[in-house]
Structure 1
Amino acid sequence: MSETVANDQVEKPMLGTLLHGGVYRIVMQRPERMNALSSEMMSALSGELSRAAEDPAVRVILIGSEGKVFCAGHDLKELTAARAESDGGKATYERIMRQCSDLMQQIVRLPKPVIAVVTGVATAAGCQLVASCDLAIATDTATFCTPGVNIGLFCSTPMVALSRNVAPKQAMEMLLTGESIDASTAKEFGLINRIVPADYLDQVVQKYAEVIASKSARTLKIGKEAFYRQLEMPLSDAYDFAAQTMVDNMLARDAEEGISAFLQKRKPEWTDS
């Protein structure tokens, strides 16, 4: 995988990609369209995520963007155009909403950590994208909102990811008012992990991601899957599941190596097995 480069003779690609140090950057490159999640953009993102999931060189995935808007959510022009269809757009709306839901679940189920790198505004399904990622780092000027209520379209699907990241009353505040919150408030709410000055964003994000990338890929896969599965379980079931996960993890080659390395005061040599 290598960086995508545009030229003057062809339209700029929707996504730019770069792999460095086990960290795979996916950058949405439609600033003139506010990096909206059109059907085309979602297909492109899904395809890159699938390729990254299968590439053993990729250990951590970043999703970022170009321009002042991280992601403006669904492409409202695309949705509006569908009203001219014979069914008033119903089939198109069903397809696009299912596509978006599948993309968000793909991120959650991906066997590798996914980090949102937020510069600018993340609104509606763009906020949903941030919430769906495992971690999120934002600049100090980033803002977040679920403003569907302002245009008569409640952010119901963004609500699913949002309500799994922030407390119910805070989620409802965002959903009912449609007002923006700044990066500091988003961190307080639990929507993002860290706030970084824009000038240092790339440097900090790469270092942050490389720390995670240095771990055993098998261990990260086990842990991410277990984290999301146990969230949906009653307490007793969650402990039973987590205990069995620990047993299976202990039998893995990397657990044996990691514990031995710790006891011997040396750096572990992961085999991802």
Structure 2
Amino acid sequence: MKITSIRPWLVKSDASYWGEYLFVEVTTDEGISGWGEITTTTKLANRALCTILRQIGLAVAGEDPARIEHLWHKVFRSFTYMGSRGAAVECVSAIDIALWDIRGKVLGKPIYELLGGPVRDEISLYTHPNQAKFTSKEAVVREIRDIVESGHTGLKFDPFPHQGPSVDGVARERRDGYLDGSMTRKDEREAAELTALIRETAGPNVDILIDAHGRFDVPTAIRLCRSLEEAGQIDWFEEPCPPESLNALKQVRDKVSAPISWGERGHTKW
């Protein structure tokens, strides 16, 4: 079996927060295809990835799709001087998923069996409130009550002002204007008040999870986390600082009580 092409599929969808999905299909000469998915946060990034994926397809055409580790390194090391984060790793990830999909189809086994067997039978999931509905205190209460009554025991939100989907494809960090890593006292107070209201509505047995999207410097992140701990007994604080700096994350962790959640922008096993 040989790889014949790598095809990006950009699919418009109202079900996606970003308005579209980016799927990747690896095709073979025996008619078996594997699928991966790497939807990014802007339309510009998705379209750039499509171009890169087509070029990678030319480089791996004729390769054996069963040589998954070999192909991972062949693609990854072709971008080695670009660093380990960004478009190159996005493409490696999608192709790797698709190659495992092909392997499972060829062997007639679910992928988790090929990777050593299932780790657990169940996993806890949280949900997100629709913050577009947060037009008043009463509206917030209705949205949170609906979530709790649906049976969810964890919810995650971003309490900091100026949230919502981008219509022009501009990244959240730039759109919100927090490029210096700080926040006004007014915005801090509003975040604490919203978190307190959600905790009061959800009750003590629901996990309240905060996502800061990597926007803040260390002093601001510490102050915000402590404020939300006091206001809403939060259960984690996700990406308080830009994810590149593990030292900054450690400084925050050492000064707050809530666990620090991190990982969605960490890349490769290293």
Identify whether the pair has TM-score above 0.5, normalized to the shorter chain: no
TM bucket (normalised to shorter chain) is under 0.3
Higher helix share: 1
